[in-house]
Homo-oligomer: A and B are copies of this chain.
Amino acid sequence: MGAPVGTDTAGQGAAAVSLLQVVADPVRWAVLARLTGGPSCVCNLQEHVPVPANLLSYHLKLLREAGLVTTSRRGRWIDYALADDALDRLHAALPAMPAAERVRP
């Protein structure tokens, strides 16, 4: 809702920034780092990310909505796993060279 930031790189930038904003949080970063080691149920994540359960759930929701993680219920528990393209999308979201550029002489 703020002022748009450009015209050419803004379209790609907006999506990229949205993704980066998701990972640029201590709780969510820790969760993702943990999930890179393999799937995990919430109760397991909770042992390694010391925050209240409901708060963890809030952050998991953001990760879910960003498409960075997937869930699957297993009996009483819910397993979270990294989305297949999660790391690829994150790396692709970092700023990179758009086109040739020149400096004012």
Contacts and interface: CB of A to CB of B under 8 A. Distances in A.
The range of chain A's interface size is 35 or more
B29 A101 contact: no
Interface string A70-105: 000000010100000001001100111111111110
Interface string A7-40: 0111001101100110111110110111011111
Given A9-B48, A20-B20, A77-B104, 18 more contacts: A2-B26, A3-B50, A4-B50, A6-B30, A9-B30, A16-B29, A17-B26, A20-B24, A20-B29, A23-B94, A23-B95, A36-B98, A37-B100, A37-B103, A38-B101, A43-B104, A44-B104, A87-B94
